[in-house]
């Protein structure tokens, strides 16, 4: 297909250079957005008297036919075209002749691609938010069933204090809720300014109505500066950053699933449908889906930093380097959506080994803080109680026992403040239930957290 820009050229583009220059291989996924934008642009041109009403109707109806045929597969995108914009315009012109050539009046591929990408990302972000909602729902469903399941809480990967397993899971719901808010904020900013009508960089001599075009496309207003309109890719960076944070949260959760499903922890067993085996070791059950999500996080980070690096030295306005924005953000979206689609059912289907969780919670002196709190409530200064509790733990380690099995008489040798109620105070159930502060691990608090996520 002849290039639409060849008027001043005397030689065709080198075959290798043509392939190197083309973006049709990846920007073709934006055909729906490209056609939608073109329909609205044609309507604006007719509204302003730049083209006739009959010309607009011919353009819009033909574009609708092209869209329907692309959706159904009756029409295939010509890979010989340079980009999706030229394919659509070329197909339109092939069908209605010279009228089709009027569509590109008062716009450039520079503002056209800036528009298409925003429209595409807006739709994809809605999909990502829906998938995040499914992940939160899967976590909440497991949490609801485990408001009495006690596990050791960790700091520094060392057993720290007893918590409810539901409490641990719901921490990730808080992360994913923030992720949804971040994505929503980025979309709101992206929707504030429409780039269409910026043309190549300087605007146009035609009496266009950029406000009408922006409103018809769901934007708050036209971008205030036409140079910024075609050269801005902040929205890509912001979304890729938000997506990278989602992947980081998924990766942290997957790291714990990998640990929990190991023989060393044996807290959970991932369903067979989300694990794989070994080609040589028949006993193996590998958490490959969780490992892949963890691994793909680095890939998403790489896409973000690649675009940062691409943009950092670009002069205004549009530069061909900016074609490099799409493959990275498309790959990020594809990767993130696949990870979210795998993650939700993987969590929902896992089996918990509650007896192992409880056994782990009984080890490691994770009720030591409660022992110190017991003494503090009896009148001992906390720092004194802290030091004394440390001495009791050292005694238990030396004797090979835990805090619950120390005789009351021995406790009283450490301090006369100890009474028989100490054993109730340091029971794991009591340690959990006493955490009554808002957001804590007490059952009432955890149930309130569950209610919050179910409502939102």
Q: Where are the domains of the chain?
A: 6-105, 115-205+230-359, 361-455
> Does the active-site annotation cover 405?
no
What does the pLDDT read at residue 1?
Answer: 57
Token pair 């105070």: residue: 425
Contact (CB, 8 A) for 258 and 287? yes
Specify the pLDDT at position 19: 84
Position 10 scores a pLDDT of 73
Mutual angle of helices 109-144 and 84-96, in 10-degree steps:
120
Quick check: is 278 catalytic?
yes
Whole-angstrom distance, CA of residue 139 vs CA of residue 318: 44
- β-strand partners of 276: 286
DSSP 76-118: ---TTSSSHHHHHHHHHHHHHTHHHHGGGTT--HHHHHHHHHH
Write down the catalytic residue from 54, 79, 278, 405. Answer: 278
3-state secondary structure of 174: helix
| Residues 137-165 as b or e (16 or more Cβ within 10 Å = b) | ebbbebbeebeebbbbbbeeeebbbbbbb
Nearest to 41 by CA among 203, 200, 207, 217: 217
CA distance 325 to 308: 10
Integer Cα distance of 32 and 84 in angstroms:
10
Q: What secondary structure letter does DSSP report for 48?
A: T
Residue 358 is predicted with a pLDDT of 95
pLDDT in tens, the chain (456 residues): 556 656 667 778 788 888 888 899 999 999 999 999 999 999 999 999 999 999 999 999 999 999 999 999 999 999 999 999 999 999 999 999 999 999 999 999 999 999 999 999 999 999 999 999 999 999 999 999 999 999 999 999 999 999 999 999 999 999 999 999 999 999 999 999 999 999 999 999 999 999 999 999 999 999 999 999 999 999 999 999 999 999 999 999 999 999 999 999 999 999 999 999 988 998 999 999 999 999 999 999 999 999 999 999 999 999 999 999 999 999 999 999 999 999 999 999 999 999 999 999 999 999 999 999 999 999 999 999 999 999 999 999 999 999 999 999 999 999 999 999 999 999 999 999 999 999 999 999 999 999 999 998
DSSP for 305-326, written as a single string: HHHHHHHTTPPSS--GGGGHHH
Residue 152 phi/psi, 5-degree rounding, is: -75, 130
User: What residue spans of 155-233 are helical by DSSP H?
Assistant: 165-190, 210-216, 226-231
CA distances for 254 relative to 150, 248, 250, 259, 375, angstroms:
20, 10, 6, 9, 39
Q: Which pLDDT score is estimated for 4?
A: 61
Q: How many other C-beta atoms lie within 10 A of the C-beta of residue 340?
A: 22
How far is residue 395's CA from residue 90's CA, in Å, rounded to a whole number?
A: 84
Q: Check residue 21 and give its pLDDT.
A: 83
CB distance 306 to 324 below 8 Å = yes
Exposure b/e, 230-262, CB count within 10 A at least 16 = b? bbbbebbbbbbebbbbbbebbbebbebbbbbbe
Peptide bond connecting 314 to the previous residue in cis, omega within 30 degrees of 0: no
Domain 115-205+230-359, CATH number (from 3.40.50.300, 3.40.600.10, 1.10.760.10, 1.20.200.10):
1.20.200.10
CATH class of the domain comprising 361-455: mainly alpha
CB 30 within 8 A of CB 81: no
Surface-to-core class of residue 302, CB atoms within 10 Å of its CB (0-12 exposed, 13-18 middle, 19+ buried):
middle
| Fold of the domain spanning 6-105 | Fumarase C; Chain B, domain 1 (1.10.275)
Report the C-alpha gap between 80 and 210 in whole angstroms.
32
Q: Which of 156, 273, 279, 420 is catalytic?
A: 156
Kindly give the pairing relationship between strand 150-155 and strand 193-194.
unpaired
């Amino acid at each position: 297909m002849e290039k639409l820009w060849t008027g001043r050229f005397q030689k065709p583009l080198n075959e290798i250079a043509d392939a190197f220059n083309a973006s049709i291989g990846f920007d073709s996924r934006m055909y729906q957005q490209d056609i939608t934008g073109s329909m609205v642009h044609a309507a604006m041109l007719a509204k302003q008297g730049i083209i006739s009403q009959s010309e607009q109707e011919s353009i819009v109806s033909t574009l609708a036919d092209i869209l329907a045929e692309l959706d159904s597969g009756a029409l295939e995108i010509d890979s010989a075209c340079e980009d999706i914009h030229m394919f659509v315009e070329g197909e339109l012109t092939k069908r209605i002749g010279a009228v089709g050539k009027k569509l590109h009046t008062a716009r450039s591929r520079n503002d056209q691609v800036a528009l298409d990408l925003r429209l595409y990302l807006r739709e994809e972000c809605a999909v990502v938010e829906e998938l995040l909602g499914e992940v939160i729902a899967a976590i909440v469903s497991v949490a609801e069933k485990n408001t009495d399941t006690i596990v050791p809480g960790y700091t520094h990967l060392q057993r720290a204090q007893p918590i409810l397993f539901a409490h641990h899971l719901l921490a990730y719901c808080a992360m994913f809720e923030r992720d949804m808010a971040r994505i929503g904020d980025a979309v709101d900013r992206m929707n504030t300014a429409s780039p269409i009508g910026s043309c190549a960089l300087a605007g146009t001599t035609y009496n266009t109505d950029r406000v009408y075009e922006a409103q018809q496309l769901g934007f708050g207003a036209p971008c205030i500066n036409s140079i910024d309109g075609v050269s801005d890719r902040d929205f890509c960076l912001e979304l890729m950053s938000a997506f990278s944070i989602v992947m980081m949260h998924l990766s942290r959760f997957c790291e714990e699933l990998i640990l929990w499903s190991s023989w060393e922890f044996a807290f959970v067993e991932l369903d067979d449908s989300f694990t794989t085996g070994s080609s040589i070791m028949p006993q193996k059950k590998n958490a490959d889906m969780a490992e892949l999500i963890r691994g793909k996080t680095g890939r998403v980070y790489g896409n973000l930093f690649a675009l940062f690096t691409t943009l950092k030295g670009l002069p205004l306005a549009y530069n061909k380097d900016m074609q490099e924005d799409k493959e990275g953000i498309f790959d990020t979206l594809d990767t993130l959506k696949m990870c979210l689609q795998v993650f939700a059912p993987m969590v929902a289907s896992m089996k918990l080994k509650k007896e192992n969780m409880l056994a782990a919670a009984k080890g490691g002196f994770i009720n030591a803080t409660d022992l110190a709190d017991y003494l503090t409530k009896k009148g001992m200064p906390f720092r004194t109680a802290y030091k004394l509790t440390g001495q009791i733990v050292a005694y238990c380690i030396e004797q090979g026992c835990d805090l619950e099995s120390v005789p009351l008489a021995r406790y009283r040798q450490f301090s006369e403040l100890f009474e028989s109620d100490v054993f109730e105070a340091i029971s794991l159930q009591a340690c959990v239930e006493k955490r009554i502060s808002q957001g804590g691990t007490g059952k009432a608090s955890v149930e309130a957290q569950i209610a919050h996520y179910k409502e939102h």
